[in-house]
């Protein structure tokens, strides 16, 4: 690791506590049906980050360290603003003086719900490092195409991720009120909205894949490989949508084990099948030819877990 990379990493790591505070407060607000507050703080943080980047890199030449300081400072402001917002508009949620004496039962529930997802996320992060190593083995064209495709992929995931979070909040509120029939109607409505938005977005991305990827200054084999990867992703994006909505329902109901297992299976199938096909005629295409198998498996686990109806018997409180 170079000196500048180490400097950036060390400074950036000090801002993890601010990321944690923001994510917790945003989760609380979203659970209460207030998703606009979190959006405001995120917008505030983004604008401030851009301003400080210009100030600490272009005006005050602090280089890489300046960029890291800008990121941490914007995260700190966002975290502080979210706490002030929470205290003003949801004062009943603000910790009381006896908070740490009477919160152990609730803390245990949070740990039970979060640990499976933490483990899944950690394993997934490690697995994609292994997948990146395989991508690197196919040379610069695959590396450049994969990197550009990932930028577009993040945008394409926005609807599914939004429906996942909205579904979790909706289900948690309605299960708390014992309105299970409303949960099922909400699931069906969300699945229809998610399906339509996913298909429309996939069609747009496929239609404009070439000019969008060219924005990242790639051409030749890199463009071809990135475009092929993006095509496969978009064709299979309906699997991701179904899985995300089903996972949101299960998590909102208090059943995080099935989504965690689904995520692990997704990674195992993706990485395993990619490495198995790497030495065959599939060659560099193994990176994205493996997607239908992995996403299909993940989708099946989450959706059929919902269909089993076991989520109706989960008991958080």
Domain coordinates in residue numbering, the chain: 3-94, 104-313
Residue in 280, 27, 302 with CA at minimum distance from that of residue 172: 27
Q: What is the pLDDT of residues 171-222, one digit of tens each?
A: 888 887 788 889 899 999 999 999 999 999 999 999 999 999 998 888 899 9
Mean per-residue pLDDT, 148-168: 84
Helix axes 237-253, 180-207, angle to 10 degrees: 150
| Residue 234 to residue 229: CA distance in whole angstroms | 9
pLDDT for position 225: 93
Residue in 90, 258, 229, 91 with CA at minimum distance from that of residue 153: 229
| Residue 306 to residue 44: CA distance in whole angstroms | 37
∠ CA 143-145-151, nearest 5°, is 105
Sign for the pseudo-dihedral over CA of 229, 235, 239, 242: positive
Residue 317 has pLDDT above 60, yes or no: no
| Residue 15 to residue 10: CA distance in whole angstroms | 9
Q: What is the pTM of this model?
A: 0.76
| Residue 300 to residue 59: CA distance in whole angstroms | 53
Q: What is the pLDDT of residues 30-84, one digit of tens each?
A: 777 777 777 787 788 888 888 888 888 878 888 888 888 888 999 898 888 888 8
Number of other residues whose CB lies within 10 A of the CB of residue 315: 7
pLDDT over 90 percentage in the chain = 36
Q: Where are the beta strands (DSSP E) in the chain?
A: none
């Amino acid at each position: 690791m170079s000196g500048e990379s180490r400097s950036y990493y060390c400074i950036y790591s000090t801002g993890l506590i601010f990321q944690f505070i923001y994510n917790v407060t945003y989760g609380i607000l979203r659970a209460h049906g207030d998703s606009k507050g979190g959006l405001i703080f995120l917008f505030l943080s983004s604008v401030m980050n851009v301003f400080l980047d210009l100030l600490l890199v272009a005006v005050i030449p602090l280089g890489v360290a300046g960029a890291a300081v800008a990121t941490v400072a914007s995260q700190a402001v966002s975290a502080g603003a979210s706490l002030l917002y929470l205290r003003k508009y949801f004062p009943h949620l603000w910790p009381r003086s006896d908070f740490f004496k009477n919160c152990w039962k609730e803390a245990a529930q949070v740990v039970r719900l979060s640990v499976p997802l933490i483990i899944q996320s950690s394993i997934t992060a490690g697995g994609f490092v292994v997948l990146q190593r395989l991508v690197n083995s196919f040379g610069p064209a695959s590396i450049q195409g994969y990197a550009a495709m990932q930028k577009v992929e993040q945008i394409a995931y926005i609807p599914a991720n939004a429906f996942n979070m909205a579904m979790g909040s909706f289900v948690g509120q309605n299960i708390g009120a014992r309105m299970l029939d409303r949960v099922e109607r909400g699931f069906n409505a969300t699945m229809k909205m998610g399906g339509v938005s996913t298909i429309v977005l996939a069609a747009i991305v496929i239609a404009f894949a070439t000019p969008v990827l060219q924005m990242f200054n790639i051409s030749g084999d890199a463009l071809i490989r990135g475009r092929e990867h993006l095509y496969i992703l978009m064709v299979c994006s309906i699997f991701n949508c179904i899985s995300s909505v089903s996972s949101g329902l299960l998590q909102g109901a208090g059943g995080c084990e099935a989504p965690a297992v689904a995520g692990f299976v997704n990674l195992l199938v993706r990485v395993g099948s990619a490495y198995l096909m790497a030495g065959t005629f599939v060659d560099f295409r193994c990176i994205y030819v493996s997607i239908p198998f992995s996403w299909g498996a993940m989708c099946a686990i989450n959706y059929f877990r919902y269909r089993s109806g076991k989520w109706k018997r989960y008991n958080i409180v």
